Chains A and B, each alone.
Chain A
Amino acid sequence: MNRSNLLYNVIAIVILALVLFMFWNFAASTSYVEGKITSGGVVIDTLSTIYGYLYGMIPICCVLILFSLAVAFYLEEWLSHRSWQYRIIERIIAIFACIPSLVYGLFCAYFIVVKSQQISYLTLTIAVFFIVVPVTIRTTQQVIQKVDLSVREAAYALGAKRMRVIADHVIPNTFPMILTGIFTTISRVLAIAALFIVICGWKITESNSKHSFDIPNNAIVLLSSALLFSVISCLFEKKKSL
Chain B
Amino acid sequence: MENKIEIANLKVSYGDTQALNGISLNVHPNEILGIIGPAQSGKTTLLKVINRTLEFNQGISVEGTVKLDGVDINSIGDVYGLRRRIGMVLPLPVGLPLTIYDNVAFAPRTAGIRNKAEIDEIVERCLQQAALWDEVKDRLDSLGTKLSGGQQQRLTIARALSHQPEVLCLDEFSIAVDPITTMRIEDVLKTLKNEMTILLVTNLVQQAKRLANRTAFMLNGDLIEIDETDVIFSDNPSNRSTYDYVNGNFG
Q: Report which residue of A155, A158, A164 has the largest number of chain B beta carbons within 10 angstroms of its beta carbon.
A: A158
Scan residues 111-159 of chain A and give those whose CB is less than 8 A from a CB of chain B.
149-159
Partner among B48, B56, B81, B159 whose Cβ is within 8 Å of the Cβ of A158: B159
Partner among A81, A150, A160 whose Cβ is within 8 Å of the Cβ of B106: A160
The answer for the CA separation of A159 and B160 in the assembled complex, in Å, is: 10
CB-defined contacts of A158 to chain B, threshold 8 Å? 83-84, 106-107, 110, 159-160, 162-163
CB-defined contacts of B162 to chain A, threshold 8 Å? 158
Please choose the segment from B26-34, B87-95, B176-184 that sits at the chain A interface, where 4 or more of its residues have CB less than 8 A away.
B87-95
Given contacts A81-B58, A153-B53, A156-B56, contact A161 B94 (CB under 8 A): no
Nearest residue in B to A156 (C-beta to C-beta)?
B53
Nearest-Cβ distance from residue A140 to partner chain B, whole angstroms? 17
B76 at the A/B interface (Cβ < 8 Å)?
no
The answer for the CA separation of A169 and B98 in the assembled complex, in Å, is: 10
Nearest residue in B to A151 (C-beta to C-beta)?
B94
Scan residues 177-194 of chain B and give those whose CB is less than 8 A from a CB of chain A.
none
Give 1 or 0 for each of B51-83: 1 = CB within 8 Å of chain A CB. Answer: 101001111000000000000000000001101
CB-defined contacts of B163 to chain A, threshold 8 Å? 158-159
Inter-subunit contact B83/A159 (CB<8 Å): yes
Give 1 or 0 for each of B92-110: 1 = CB within 8 Å of chain A CB. Answer: 1010110000000011001
A211 at the A/B interface (Cβ < 8 Å)?
no
CB-defined contacts of A153 to chain B, threshold 8 Å? 48, 53, 56, 90, 94
The answer for the CA separation of A153 and B52 in the assembled complex, in Å, is: 10
Given contacts A150-B94, A151-B94, contact A82 B106 (CB under 8 A): no
Inter-subunit contact B90/A159 (CB<8 Å): no
CB-defined contacts of B88 to chain A, threshold 8 Å? 154, 157
Inter-subunit contact A157/B53 (CB<8 Å): yes
Interface size for B (C-beta < 8 A) is: 27
Nearest-Cβ distance from residue A173 to partner chain B, whole angstroms? 8
Nearest-Cβ distance from residue A197 to partner chain B, whole angstroms? 44
Instruction: Please classify how large the interface on chain A is, using the bins under 10, 10 to 19, 20 to 34, 35 or more.
Output: 10 to 19
Nearest residue in B to A148 (C-beta to C-beta)?
B94
Given contacts A157-B88, A160-B110, contact A152 B56 (CB under 8 A): yes
Inter-subunit contact A159/B81 (CB<8 Å): yes
The answer for the CA separation of A145 and B137 in the assembled complex, in Å, is: 36
Scan residues 162-179 of chain A and give those whose CB is less than 8 A from a CB of chain B.
164, 169, 172
CB-defined contacts of A82 to chain B, threshold 8 Å? 58-59
Inter-subunit contact A150/B92 (CB<8 Å): yes
Nearest-Cβ distance from residue A1 to partner chain B, whole angstroms? 13
The answer for the CA separation of A130 and B177 in the assembled complex, in Å, is: 54
CB-defined contacts of B81 to chain A, threshold 8 Å? 159
CB-defined contacts of B92 to chain A, threshold 8 Å? 150
Inter-subunit contact A159/B110 (CB<8 Å): yes
List residues of chain A with CB under 8 Å of any chain B CB.
81-82, 149-161, 164, 169, 172
What would 25 A/B residue contacts be, using CB atoms closer than 8 Å? A81-B59, A149-B56, A149-B57, A150-B90, A150-B92, A150-B94, A151-B96, A152-B56, A153-B56, A154-B88, A154-B90, A156-B53, A156-B83, A157-B86, A157-B88, A158-B107, A158-B159, A158-B160, A158-B162, A159-B84, A159-B110, A159-B111, A159-B163, A164-B110, A169-B96
- Can you name 20 extra interface pairs (CB under 8 A) apart from A157-B86, A158-B163? A82-B59, A150-B92, A151-B94, A152-B56, A153-B90, A153-B94, A154-B90, A155-B106, A156-B53, A156-B56, A157-B53, A157-B88, A158-B84, A158-B110, A158-B160, A159-B107, A159-B110, A159-B163, A161-B110, A164-B110
